[in-house]
């Protein structure tokens, strides 16, 4: 753990197409090897095809999908005596959104490896699935919630 000053939060500029900071964060997660223009193309194409399929605004679909997958509680290991307990704790808003974005990207990547479709199609499918509360990212959300519910007995040991 760092013993110096805390890292400063960097200001993220909104994306050029929709003007959303959340979408810029997602593009940065999708980006590989510093190729931001390719990541932007993948995300914008996925949103436009989701827009056509759902007949709703692309940014609205994306924001709702992220909101549906954003966790409210998670478990953290806490060592007491000789035992380690999984203690449920509330998730800070920034971390919760980061987790949701990572889960959507990870689920889309896993689907791409399985089906051999292109990135745009897999991402579009995953965003629509998260919007409809199903799919890989929503499954990760539910697993976190179930784990926290199962370990509710240890909530008195919180940090």
Please state the pTM of the whole predicted model.
0.88
Residue 2 confidence (pLDDT): 65
Which pair of structure tokens corresponds to residue 109? 């990547």
Q: Which helix (H) or strand (E) holds 64?
A: helix 58-69
Say which DSSP state 90 is in: E
Q: What is the pLDDT of residues 110-123, one digit of tens each?
A: 888 888 888 899 99
Q: What is the pLDDT of residues 3-28, one digit of tens each?
A: 788 888 889 999 989 999 999 999 99
């Amino acid at each position: 753990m760092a013993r110096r000053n805390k890292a400063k939060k960097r200001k993220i500029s909104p994306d050029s197409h929709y003007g959303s900071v959340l979408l810029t964060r997602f593009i940065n997660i999708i980006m590989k090897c510093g190729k931001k223009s390719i990541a932007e193309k993948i995300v914008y194409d996925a949103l436009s095809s989701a827009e056509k399929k759902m007949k709703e605004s692309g940014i609205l679909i994306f924001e709702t999908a992220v909101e549906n997958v954003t966790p409210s509680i998670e478990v953290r290991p806490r060592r007491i005596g000789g035992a380690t307990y999984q203690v449920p704790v509330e998730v800070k808003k920034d971390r919760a959104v980061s987790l949701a974005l990572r889960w959507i990207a990870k689920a889309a990547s896993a689907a791409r490896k399985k089906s051999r479709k292109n990135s745009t199609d897999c991402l579009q499918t995953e965003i629509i699935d998260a919007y409809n509360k199903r799919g890989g990212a929503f499954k990760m959300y539910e697993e976190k919630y179930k784990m926290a519910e199962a370990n509710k007995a240890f909530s008195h040991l919180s940090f």
